[in-house]
Amino acid sequence: MTTLGVVMDPIAAINYQKDSTLAMLLAAQARGWKLRYFEPADLYLRDGVAYGRCQPLQVFADAQHWYELGDAVVQPLAELDVILMRKDPPFDMEYIYATYLLELAEHAGALVVNRPQSLRDANEKLFTAWFPQCTPPTLVSRDMTRLRNFIAEQGQTVLKPLDGMGGASVFLTQPHDPNASVIIETLSQHGQRMVMAQRYLPEIAQGDKRILMIDGEPVPYALARIPADGELRGNLAAGAKGVGMPLSERDRWICQQVAPRLRELGLLFVGLDVIGDYLTEINVTSPTCIRELDAQYDLDIGAQLIASIAAKIKR
């Protein structure tokens, strides 16, 4: 019987209605797989072997009672057939250390989704640089003069840190904005940290589309996250409303541009963020929106993902 381990934030604190990891776990359990639950602090290394303190896990489609945990045991991570790395950012050094342990498990035969090295390599903001034909005018720099010049050139400009999530620390500025210098100084820590600047896309009013990719193939519907009144950010965490819509021809073209690289890097489950005609981010750590799309279109994206994973298990 296939055993799947999941590394995630505390399962007791998830949002039952929205949590994509729960959708994956329900699908794996429905397939007859055994589940094992880890939090990042449960992982450790001893004499070159990655271990984890895990608990047997059962999940339920019940908003009041969605999980049960059994007694904890310690086992080598390599004994698991599949490991889902679903820890939310921040993408800090502790996250990176966890990927090294998961990479040892991968080397010993476990399938880790997504591939640990690629989690380290594919920064969710910077990874878009591999596909400049898909992106709006973009600058990444910590040079404050260069950032000011980009704003003067582009007009309305969005500035954001390279390690944020959920719309945290995203700013909109423009030439002659009296706050522009303060924004640049704050985000770059006075020129000590890289900042991403992108031309503002007014199409954000129609939503920041999340397109889910499974092994390089897009789910045929996107979730357009429409900003709340008075908001710039199309993030559900910032109060945006999620509205499903079929992929456009441009959306499918962007997916085709990105797909070969995703497959090459072992990025099996990815969320593309598209505003208007442009790719703005590639989410590889813990993409969400499964349950919203499932509910609106009677899909089972978790089952699609687990089926794709099952086809890749080598043992």
**Residues labelled as active-site residues:** 125, 160, 210, 225, 233, 273, 281, 283
Q: Are 289 and 283 in contact (CB under 8 A)?
A: no
Cα–Cα separations (whole angstroms), residue 53 to 7, 73, 113, 279: 11, 6, 19, 39
Residue 223: count other Cβ atoms within 10 Å of its Cβ: 28
* 284 burial level (CB within 10 Å; 0-12, 13-18, 19+): buried
Q: Are 211 and 274 in contact (CB under 8 A)?
A: yes
What DSSP character marks residue 90?
A: P
* 276 burial level (CB within 10 Å; 0-12, 13-18, 19+): middle
Cα–Cα–Cα angle for 277, 268, 281, rounded to 5 degrees: 30
Task: State whether the Cα torsion 46-49-52-53 is positive or negative.
Answer: negative
Name the one residue in this structure whose structure tokens are 């639950």.
Answer: 37
Q: 79 φ, ψ to 5°? A: -75, -15
Dist CA 36 CA 57 (whole Å): 5
Dist CA 123 CA 127 (whole Å): 5
Dist CA 291 CA 209 (whole Å): 15
As given in the structure block, the two tokens for residue 50 are 């990655």
